[in-house]
A and B are shown apart, each in its own frame.
Chain A
């Protein structure tokens, strides 16, 4: 399953501080969308409002609407827990549960739903998710070892496996490769390409080649100055953004003439 994402007049605050102002964006299902922009422009902040993870931070709240296939996740009565089960997230630093084995890491999401499953069903999920994240061959002989014993790139793919194990509709990734070497980065980029067959993928990246390689569409965020809110400046096909952007700020940023 894969859902479209529409943000309408979305403002995000940290207490009184308006961090992201008036974002309107439509993200197609089964596509990869990259968020780029200078540090502090609110990419992470906006990304986290797509699964309401910003609410974990005391004082953070969002105004406006965010629709998943037309359903507003900020409508009254919506439980953020349900939103997050539909919208998975991969973080900047790999964070497998250190107290769990590789296998248990992948089953963690299923165990949350309290689903009783047979040993063979569980095995299926583990294998399918690990194959889905191109990790199966590397870890199939040590599924009962702790996940923290893997390399950084393997850990990150384990985190992706853990996310896709619960079959979300959307996968959010916040600079998933920034802690990885080029080989692991390529592995993850390949993976992202496969993932869009089934999921809506949104990725934040500082690496513009990466955005150009993986993303169908790219959104450029910018900030007018410290203390000012971040804004969505331009959103278009990746090729357009990188070859022929409509906005001068975008042009300056992608050509390195920034600030």
Chain B
């Protein structure tokens, strides 16, 4: 058995000399680390602020000199209907927006000739730039009114479904209208993210499907959708995040009230962000704590939604095409 002699490379040998790039690597990795730490710190401060300010509302007997919170017997009674309304409005928005967004994105990425695809893409991006107060004003003045006959029809024909039971609104300022406005607002985000992802589907795989005799739609189902799965979920979650937190549009459109499954009645339901926006300026003491605690609940909902999304994405990692 022979053994080649091994030795530490000498000082100054080419193996040990560091190149200019190495310093760059170090600078970059430190900057990235610092940025990451700052983000975590900011998040931690927000969480700490939310929790400390909410404590009096969460547990009044201990953290305040009152026995109960101001607007209800318990905090749960106060916040659960608000959470229900928030989630309901966001789900309506998602159900309406996702298929449309995915459809438009597919049309732009795989069907439309380039001459049409590019301008359509610009228009969608432009929609994303419209401030939410404009959407709110549009929803309140135009959309709400034009939804009234639809609500009548829904009530007469589908009134047996709890969502369409109850008196149809005569102003149209309902949770369903809010949901539609939210859907229009999140449509551009989902669309442009999906489009980006659809375009990135490897040509190689698309051609593999086509060469097997797939039609364009079959090719999309075999390659584009599986490839874009994680991306679609992420973009929908981003849209959901925006819908959950949207304040102005809902505040302008919805005439709020108690929680109800009926989506077509005015003076029902409210969402956490608009509840906070409407009441925070005059709130102090316990009322303020309640509102901040409601905000904390929204924070938790968003966090949970994101965790679920990550879990869904990671479940199929092996088959994701990333390897």
Contact = CB atoms under 8 A, between A and B. Distances in A.
Interface of A: 51, 53, 56, 58, 81-82, 84-86, 88-89, 91, 93, 95-101, 108-109, 112-113, 146, 148-149, 159, 162-163, 166
Contacts of B24: none
A81 B215 contact: yes
Nearest to B212: A109
Interface stretch (B68-76, B87-95, B201-209): B201-209
A91 B207 contact: yes
Contacts, number: 85
Contacts of B320: 98-99
A159 B321 CA distance: 16
B223 interface: yes
7 contacts: A84-B211, A84-B212, A85-B213, A95-B207, A98-B227, A99-B316, A146-B323
B321 A98 contact: yes
A84 B206 CA distance: 14
Given A81-B215, A97-B209, 9 more contacts: A86-B213, A89-B207, A97-B205, A101-B319, A108-B212, A112-B218, A113-B213, A146-B319, A163-B211
B109 to A, nearest CB: 13
B321 A112 contact: no
A58 B209 CA distance: 17
B114 interface: yes
A85 B323 CA distance: 28
Contact of A51 (B114, B211, B227, B321): B211
Contact of A95 (B208, B213, B218): B208
B154 interface: no
B230 to A, nearest CB: 11
Nearest to A148: B323
Contacts of A81: 213-215
Contacts of A112: 212-214, 218, 222
Contacts of A99: 223, 226-227, 229, 316, 319-321
Interface in B297-321: 316, 318-321
A97 B214 contact: no
A95 B207 CA distance: 9
Given A108-B222, A112-B218, A98 B319 contact: yes
Contact of B321 (A58, A101, A148): A148
B221 to A, nearest CB: 10
B210 interface: yes
A58 B213 contact: no
Nearest to B214: A112
Contacts of B227: 98-99
Interface residues of B, number: 28
Interface of B: 113-114, 202, 204-215, 218, 222-223, 226-227, 229, 316, 318-323
B114 to A, nearest CB: 7
B35 to A, nearest CB: 32
A137 B223 CA distance: 28
* Residue in A96, A97, A166 whose Cβ sees the most chain B Cβ within 10 Å: A97
Nearest to A113: B213
Given A53-B207, A99-B227, A166 B212 contact: yes
Nearest to B316: A99
Contacts of B207: 53, 56, 89, 91, 95
Contacts of A166: 212-213
Nearest to A55: B210
Contact of A88 (B212, B215, B316): B212
A91 B215 contact: no
Contacts of A100: 226, 319
Nearest to A53: B211
A98 B218 CA distance: 16
Given A100-B319, A148-B323, A84 B222 contact: no
* Residue in A85, A95, A166 whose Cβ sees the most chain B Cβ within 10 Å: A95
Contacts of B205: 95, 97-98
B152 to A, nearest CB: 42
A91 B207 CA distance: 9
Nearest to B215: A81
Given A98-B319, A99-B226, A146-B319, A159 B208 contact: yes
Nearest to B223: A97
B210 A56 contact: yes
B112 to A, nearest CB: 12
9 closest Cβ pairs, A-B complex: A85-B213, A99-B226, A98-B321, A89-B211, A95-B204, A84-B213, A109-B212, A95-B208, A99-B319
Contacts of A93: 204
Given A82-B213, A97-B223, A166-B213, A58 B208 contact: no
Contacts of B215: 81
Nearest to B216: A81
A58 B114 contact: yes
A191 to B, nearest CB: 18
A146 B208 contact: no
Contacts of A149: 318, 323
A89 B209 CA distance: 10
Nearest to B113: A58
